[in-house]
Amino acid sequence: MDFLEHLKSSLPEKEAYQLYESFDYDDSHAVLLNTNKISDEKFISLFPNVKPHPYVPHAYIYDKNEYPLGKSVYHELGYFYLQEPSAMIVSGLINFKNNDLVLDMCAAPGGKSVQASLKMKGNGLIISNDLSTSRAKLISNNSERLGLRNLLITNNDFSKIYDFYLNTFDVIILDAPCSGSGMFRKNELMKEDWSINKVYKFSEIQKELISIAYKMLKPGGLLSYSTCSYSKEENEDVISYLLENSDAQVRDINLKDGYVNELSPIGIRLMPSHFFGEGQYICHISKPGNSEETKFKNSNRSERLVSSYATYDVKRFGESLFAISNIIDIKKLNVIRYGVKIGEEHKGIFKYDLHYARSLTIKDEFPRVELNEEELRLYLEGNQLTKESKNKGYVLLTYHNNSIDIAKTDGRVIKNYYPKGLRRKFI
């Protein structure tokens, strides 16, 4: 069975042809603002031709030929996260509470966790997990660049440990691995690799994952299931399987008229023939009952950190120190990053990490040196700076009051501590 025939098996013929033809449209690009570092007004003043995302606050559609944001110095400073327009709707639809315990099961490269963290204003705790170690490290890189504080990044197969987390999470995001047909417009290789057998294979994986996720969901909690596939077998059929084998209930998802295909009997489908983003299926599941607000364990006070970190738990992994505000039992978790990496201590010498620097805000009491644009660019390229400062020792370098890095100065010269792998010129 070819892909068009497969589409016609679950969509009216006219819809199937319209969707198939939409693969020839130009793809769209979106950006989610890190509101800890930049306001909507400032972003629009820098990039005036962007358009607001119709569903997601603080998100914009842009033309990458006009604004190559991924190469921008503002991207490097963590002012925003680049994400596909339909994919960002997944977390955009969830009403997170500040004290939620969230599990993002298949999180890499981390967009949904990033958005959850920003919506939760750094509160609660998000376990941002991926089965692949290399992909989990992508989440870690993004958390560092954006200065996020409440991500516990892990690399686990939850099919082996879910028994330890039954009825635990307030919100579970399951953006399940899939056949990838929703990305045909962006990736020609996905189109060439598609087969009906691939659909059937992923459908079985998805049924196992959603069953596991539901068991870990608290009564009264929300399970968000999504794929970037157009196949009914990977979407509605997976939800039907869960409904038939549990007490799960489907929650309605309401979006504005005009963009969302209403043909799906369970959940919603976003398709480029109706919406400018790529293909995305989303369904919200709830578990009957009510549960108390998550109560995290108390954190230990640390004198090493600045004021806003005073109640964070500090944990040592080898020579590295990490800090997180809310604690859960991590014995079964393979931890990649325990909240914020503070730095490394080697033979009595302590060096602060970029993640810690990026997490600091104007409210944090730390000696500062403000850089101008020329000095910023020189520093990001790897140069030391000649700059008078009343402060000596470790200082937080800032640009427009936003943190860049923690470096060392003797009051006249600032040594460059920017990670060598990140040093380059930016537009």
- The encoded tokens of residue 29 equal 């690009």
Cα of 324 vs its chain's centroid, Å: 18
User: Does 283 qualify as catalytic in the annotation?
Assistant: no
Kindly tell me the sign of the dihedral angle through the C-alpha atoms of 85, 89, 90, 91.
Answer: positive
Q: Are strands 368-370 and 393-399 parallel, antiparallel or unpaired?
A: parallel
- The encoded tokens of residue 172 equal 């579970």
**Full DSSP string of 344-365:** EEETTEEEE-HHHHHH--TTS-
Q: Which of 376, 306, 311, 369 is nearest to 342 (CA)?
A: 306
Catalytic residue among 106, 178, 228, 283: 228
Which residue's entry shows tokens 């023939």? 273
Q: Which of 307, 387, 319 is nearest to 348 (CA)?
A: 319
Q: What long-range pairs does 342-347 form, CB within 8 A, spacing at least 24? A: 342/304, 342/305, 342/314, 344/319, 344/320, 345/319, 345/321, 346/319
What is d(CA 24, CA 9) in angstroms, rounded to the nearest whole number?
22
Give me the active site residues, please: 228
